[in-house]
Structure 1
């Protein structure tokens, strides 16, 4: 009696069928790309908030310095606060050092805050 030869290769523990392996790799790559995109979006959003805070601080300091110089009527820190609000920021600090205005603002970005500060006054002013 003869035993017929096997028609395929045989491995201990399973078959040679690898169908679906490419799907698993594709899903893993897609997941990595989505995670990277979410991370980059968060970093870019924080960068935009930081730049907004810097711009609002600059505008607020200039408004306060204009009030100090008499170019515009009003109280320097009140004008700085108004300009900060118009630029989507909150005035955190404002002080006058002679003819120079120093302001600090904050811009909310989700649960975090981006801050910016600026100093404005006449050229060459050294307190």
Structure 2
């Protein structure tokens, strides 16, 4: 009796190659998860920086308007009780900025009743800074 052996068509994988590939999907999944976490952290930092920048800009805008408005008031007109002893327009700007959670970097009274205010706010990994200028419409372009 003769025994015929059938040759296999195609390539056979050895058991060693199959064992080497086991677990490679887990490594890939962990790598992708790490990339996603790094991107999420970066977006969180950028979001916090943008939020701090917006808050600093709002504080600077409000402070500049308050300071310029106090310059434009006619004599004897008081905005609120106790406001008569507010001091200079920059003192008022400082109070407004502090109430908005920012810090005064600089306040300058420019010609023609224009006030320029620079405010900053902590952004976690740095500081967000904003500049605002306010004054009468007749002074547009002054101080530039």
- Return the match for 1:16 from 12, 15, 18: 18
Q: Separation in 1 of the partners of 2:38 and 2:17?
A: 34
Residue from 104, 120, 140 that aligns with 1:91: 104
Distance of 1:85 and 1:9 partners within structure 2: 72
**Range with bigger deviation, 58-67 or 117-126:** 117-126
* C-alpha distance in structure 2 between counterparts of 1:109 and 1:35, whole Å: 19
CA distance, structure 2, for counterparts of residue 9 and residue 109 of structure 1? 57
**1:15 deviation in Å?**
3.7
| Alignment check: 8 A CA contact 2:48 2:124 kept | no
In the alignment, the residues of structure 1 paired with residue 41 and residue 13 of structure 2 have an alpha-carbon distance, to the nearest angstrom, of 46
Instruction: Tell me the TM-score normalized by structure 1.
Output: 0.84
Q: Which has the higher helix share?
A: 2
Q: Deviations over 1:23-63 (max 9, x none)?
A: 11111111110010001111111111111111110000011
> What is the root-mean-square deviation in Å for CA atoms of aligned residues?
1.8
**Pairwise CA distance, 1:66:** 1.3
- 5+ unaligned residues in a row in structure 1: which ranges? 1-7
Larger Rg: 2
* Structure 1 range deviating more: 75-84 or 93-102: 93-102
Partner Cα distance (2:13, 2:47) in 1 = 54
In structure 2, stretches of 5+ residues that fail to align are 1-11
Q: Deviation at 1:22?
A: 1.2
The aligned length equals 118
